[in-house]
Amino acid sequence: MVVPQRGGTPDEDMIKDAVPHAHHAMSVADAALQSSDYLAGDDPTTADYLLTPIANYMGAVPEGEAVMEGLTALGDWLGRMQARPSFKATAPSP
């Protein structure tokens, strides 16, 4: 996202290599969300607030679909986080 905004050309090979690593990282969060609504229990914590923008930006890049594929608990969590008034008040415009 940033490189094209600055007039550069993204390194497609590096992006392609990063997708499985990003998927793995997100799958760790997805596993944690299998047993609770938030990463550390029933209420959001700093961990949730730190992961939210990262997960949210996955929807803004073409590779995001591959990164988030099959991570339904994470997708449900992201929906809960995006519905929070604090997210709505601070979310960057598309």
Asked if residue 77 is part of any domain, the answer here is yes
Domain that holds residue 49: 44-58+66-84
Residue 77 and residue 36 in contact, taking contact as beta carbons nearer than 8 Å:
no
pLDDT score recorded for residue 12:
86
32 in a domain, yes or no? no
| 49 falls within a domain | yes
User: Considering the domain boundaries, does residue 71 fall inside one?
Assistant: yes
DSSP string, 20-86: HHHHHHHHHHHHHTTSSSBTTBSS--HHHHHHHHHHHHHTTSTTHHHHHTT-HHHHHHHHHHHTSHH
The pLDDT of residue 94? 63
In a domain? residue 74:
yes
Total number of domains constituting the chain: 1
Residue 26 lies in a domain: no
Res 3: pLDDT: 73
- At residue 9, the pLDDT reads 83
pLDDT means over runs of 10, the chain (94 residues):
76 90 97 96 96 92 92 97 95 74
pLDDT for position 93? 72
